Structure 1
Amino acid sequence: MHKHKPEPLETASDAELVSRALARDQLAVRTLIQRYNRRLYRAARSIVADDSEAEDVLQEAYLRAFAALGTFRAESTLATWLTRIVLNEAFQRVRRRIDMPISAIGRDGRQMQMADVIPFPASSRPAIDPERAMAQTELCRIVESAIDALPQDFRAVLVARVVEGMSVEETAAAFDLLPETVKTRLHRARKLLKDALAEHLGPHFGDVFPFDGKRCERITDAVVCRLGF
């Protein structure tokens, strides 16, 4: 009998999880998704500036990523590789939104496609979402609104560096920018926010755009389902 005890998935390295995911280990796939859900969701939302569309982006990006997982060669970190895929999908969404005729808005089938994958309640979303009610106070809503009002280039860098805590090098690699450009955009973003946010709000940045609990589980279940498990 094989008695080798596998490494606990929660503490397994990315390389181990990738290897297991390539062998169609569903738990490894789920662990990878849950490990990077918040970071990738925030990256997507920093571009599309919409909760629902960010979830759409995340699902499609995960499907692309797992389809191409065998091509990952660890030339960058897995987090950076996944972030690039998410950003590419998000930028494509924004370009399609700009190019879409006004007459086509609302009938592109996006909501119907999402409903096929994620079982929303019949009357759309609940009026009160317990997770967001607990995670977001009025203060966090003010922070989110201020961030959403930033120009896209500044918003994306601010979310990566300040909200998600990525390093200058990670952000530069993810957005294909020079480190100096990252620093400049972050400086300008902070300057734009100066009148809206006081310095003492800094500790609250970690609570904005929550993506844990039911929302994290929903995306995980949807991606695993669409991958055919």
Structure 2
Amino acid sequence: MTASARTLDFAGLSEPELVQLARLGRGEAFGVLMQRCNQPLFRTARSVMRDDTEAEDVLQEAYVRAFQKLGDFRGDSSLLTWLTRIVLNEARDRLRRRRAMVELDAVERAQEAGQVLVFPSGQAAGDPERDAARAEARRLLEHAVDELPEAFRLVFILREVDGRSVEETADSLGVLPATVKTRLHRARRMLRESLNAKLASALDGAFPFLGARCGRITEAVLARLQATGLAVA
């Protein structure tokens, strides 16, 4: 490896350049791509799973699956949009597998002991790193968003919390832009019914993606990619 390659400023590279280097197995390129996408993708995973820990697991698995077939990424959309679809598929598949297992277990338990298995609520514990003065407001807001039906919850997270455009959101979810607008309007209306207007100022801090979590996911995925030979240190 040449000195220029070793001192390459990966953080300053464009997305296409990073994708090309990632295809060549450069671990630094994978790391920068994940750091750029971690927060919005974590929010997407959490909007389906409604649990921080499970969202982390989903994101790690989705990254590994995506990077294993990075050659399929043609650049027709942004990498974030492409990854969002993979994260959504992974999260929804996980929920379907879990529900199938829960239903089977429930039948067996009912036959044996007459008991019904309660599906876990998925409520996440409070994060002590959050600012104390706004923590309760954010918890109330996050709880209200969690209670939205999934179709409206996803649109709200992508548009209002993550700041994606109508077109990006529509492309990520595979729906029409008009559908995004309609669902966002209904999501806002449902939230207004359950939240006081004074909580609006807490929105920017909702679903935070803290440095420790970002680093943990990036390191874990890189370790898995290196173990399979897909990336080099």
Q: TM-score, normalised by structure 2?
A: 0.81
Return the offset for 1:97. Answer: 2.4
Report the AA paired with residue 192 of structure 2. Answer: K
Tell me what 2:214 maps to.
216
CA contact (8 A) 2:142 2:207 kept: yes
Tell me what 1:170 maps to.
168
CA contact (8 A) 1:136 1:208 kept: no
Tell me what 2:110 maps to.
none
1:40 aligns with 2:41: yes
Return the offset for 1:26. Answer: 1.2
| Structure of larger gyration radius | 2
Tell me what 1:195 maps to.
193
Partners of 2:126 and 2:141 in 1: how far apart?
Answer: 20
Tell me the alpha carbon deviations over residues 31-84 of structure 1, each in whole angstroms, 9 at most, x when there is no partner: 111110000000111111111111111011000110011111101111110111
Return the offset for 1:29. Answer: 0.9
Tell me what 2:184 maps to.
186
1:96 aligns with 2:97: yes
Tell me what 2:146 maps to.
148
Aligned residues: 208
> Unaligned regions of 5+ residues in structure 1, if any?
106-126
Map 1:11-22 onto structure 2 (within 5 A).
11-22=12-23
Tell me the alpha carbon deviations over residues 140-191 of structure 1, each in whole angstroms, 9 at most, x when there is no partner: 1111000001111110110000000011100000000011111111111001
Return the offset for 1:18. Answer: 0.7
For residue 101 of structure 1, give the secondary structure of its aligned residue in structure 2. Answer: helix
Partners of 1:135 and 1:60 in 2: how far apart?
Answer: 35
Tell me what 2:116 maps to.
none
> Unaligned regions of 5+ residues in structure 2, if any?
107-124
Partners of 1:96 and 1:26 in 2: how far apart?
Answer: 32
In the superposition, relative to structure 1, how do residues 79 and 134 fare at CA in structure 2: closer, same or farther (>3 Å)?
farther
Structure 1 stretches of 4+ with a deviation exceeding 6 A read none
In the superposition, relative to structure 1, how do residues 45 and 135 fare at CA in structure 2: closer, same or farther (>3 Å)?
farther
Tell me what 2:72 maps to.
71
What is the RMSD of the two structures over their aligned residues, measured on CA atoms?
Answer: 2.4
Report the AA paired with residue 86 of structure 2. Answer: I
CA contact (8 A) 1:157 1:185 kept: yes
CA contact (8 A) 2:126 2:139 kept: no
For residue 30 of structure 2, give the secondary structure of its aligned residue in structure 1. Answer: helix
- More divergent stretch after superposition (190-199 vs 5-14): 5-14
Q: TM-score, normalised by structure 1?
A: 0.82
Return the offset for 1:7. Answer: 5.5
CA contact (8 A) 1:135 1:210 kept: no
For residue 88 of structure 2, give the secondary structure of its aligned residue in structure 1. Answer: helix
Partners of 1:160 and 1:26 in 2: how far apart?
Answer: 28
Map 1:42-61 onto structure 2 (within 5 A).
42-61=43-62
Report the AA paired with residue 82 of structure 2. Answer: W
1:62 aligns with 2:60: no
Identity among equivalent positions (%) equals 51
